[in-house]
């Protein structure tokens, strides 16, 4: 409860900021986009990891105003990068969206307003949702459909760890599959045929369904090479870049562009 009330103050006191982890085209080596990741710099506790405060925010409902702030801030940042470096230098921004936000009646209007205020085209925005939040019910399904009709892209985050991945892909307008890091971890150690099989199957599935496959958590050159061979066009991970401040990302964008 303490963390919850402090988080409420954090929003008011501007203790939150965003880090941006680049998404790279694994074939050309160029940056294609970035994922916004919220950070909390607490005046006394120091850096509080999102894995601690996001669940608290979800339970208390604070994730709704927090998520609204993240969405607007991330879109404004993409618009600034595109204004400074050209729209071809960085195409898209990924924003994580919690189930609770999708259940808000005004969510689609909010997304439309942010796009219109920042001048981004809808295809520049990728909303990352989890399989479990997508399975939340009829209202969420309608919301995802409306977002898709708006032209926003939808990514299934942590793909492969959920319950009913395959039926989901038929019932929802998904555009991107993000292979969970846990599968990437095992693909090069020879012992782990299971994770290797999942990683390869997800790439195939994406190809057949005409979706983008993104590999998360790439930490070595060997993993990168293996994933590229499997057909992953896009990837993220510490091997290429950690989550960065906006100026650091811009520098990397210029260097790899």
Of residues 8, 11, 30, 37, which one binds ligand G by CB under 6 A? 37
Least spacing, CB of residue 164 vs ligand G, in Å: 19
Contacts for 175 with CB less than 8 Å, ≥ 6 apart:
126, 148, 153, 154, 155, 211, 212
Task: Identify which of residues 94 and 143 has a Cβ nearer to Na ion in the complex.
Answer: 94
Contacts for 168 with CB less than 8 Å, ≥ 6 apart:
131, 134, 135, 156, 162, 174
Alpha helices for the chain (secondary structure H): 2-12, 50-60, 63-85, 99-102, 107-118, 131-134, 138-150, 165-171, 181-185, 193-209, 221-230, 246-256
Instruction: Name the DSSP letter for residue 122.
Output: G
C-alpha to C-alpha distance for 42 and 90, rounded to whole angstroms: 31
Instruction: Name the DSSP letter for residue 89.
Output: T
Task: Identify which of residues 86 and 238 has a Cβ nearer to ligand G in the complex.
Answer: 238
Query: 71-110: which residues touch ligand G (CB under 6 A)?
Result: 96, 98
Task: Identify which of residues 6 and 216 has a Cβ nearer to ligand G in the complex.
Answer: 216
| Residue 101 structure tokens | 């936000």
Chain residues in the site for Mn ion (CB under 5 A)? 96, 128, 157
Q: Mask: binding to Na ion, 152-191, rule CB under 5 A, as x and -?
A: -----xx---------------------------------
136 binds Na ion (CB under 5 A): no
Task: Identify which of residues 70 and 169 has a Cβ nearer to ligand G in the complex.
Answer: 70
Least spacing, CB of residue 177 vs Mn ion, in Å: 12
Task: Identify which of residues 120 and 129 has a Cβ nearer to Na ion in the complex.
Answer: 129
Contacts for 248 with CB less than 8 Å, ≥ 6 apart:
none
State the residues that interact with ligand G by CB under 6 A. 21, 37-38, 49-51, 54, 67, 70, 96, 98, 157-158, 216-219, 236-238, 243
């Amino acid at each position: 409860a303490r963390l919850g009330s402090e988080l409420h103050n954090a929003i008011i006191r501007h203790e939150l900021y965003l880090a941006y982890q680049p998404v790279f085209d694994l074939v050309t080596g160029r940056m294609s986009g970035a994922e916004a990741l919220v950070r909390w710099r607490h005046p006394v506790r120091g850096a509080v990891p999102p894995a601690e405060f996001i669940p608290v925010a979800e339970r208390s409902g604070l994730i709704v105003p927090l998520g609204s702030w993240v969405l607007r801030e991330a879109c404004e940042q993409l618009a600034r990068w595109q204004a400074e470096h050209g729209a071809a230098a960085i195409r898209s921004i990924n924003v994580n969206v919690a189930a609770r936000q999708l259940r808000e009646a005004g969510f689609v209007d909010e997304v439309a307003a942010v796009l219109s205020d920042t001048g981004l085209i809808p295809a520049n925005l990728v909303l990352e949702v989890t399989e479990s939040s997508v399975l939340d019910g009829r209202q969420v399904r309608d919301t995802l459909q409306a977002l898709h009709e708006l032209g926003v892209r939808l990514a299934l985050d942590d793909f492969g760890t959920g319950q009913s991945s395959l039926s989901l892909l038929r019932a929802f307008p998904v555009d991107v599959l993000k292979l969970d890091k846990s599968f990437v971890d095992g693909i090069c150690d020879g012992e782990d045929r299971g994770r290797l099989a999942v990683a390869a199957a997800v790439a195939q599935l994406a190809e057949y369904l005409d979706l983008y496959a993104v590999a998360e958590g790439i930490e070595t050159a060997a993993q990168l090479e293996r994933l590229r061979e499997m057909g992953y066009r896009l990837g993220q991970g510490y091997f290429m870049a950690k989550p960065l401040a906006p100026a650091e990302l811009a520098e990397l964008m210029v260097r790899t562009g």
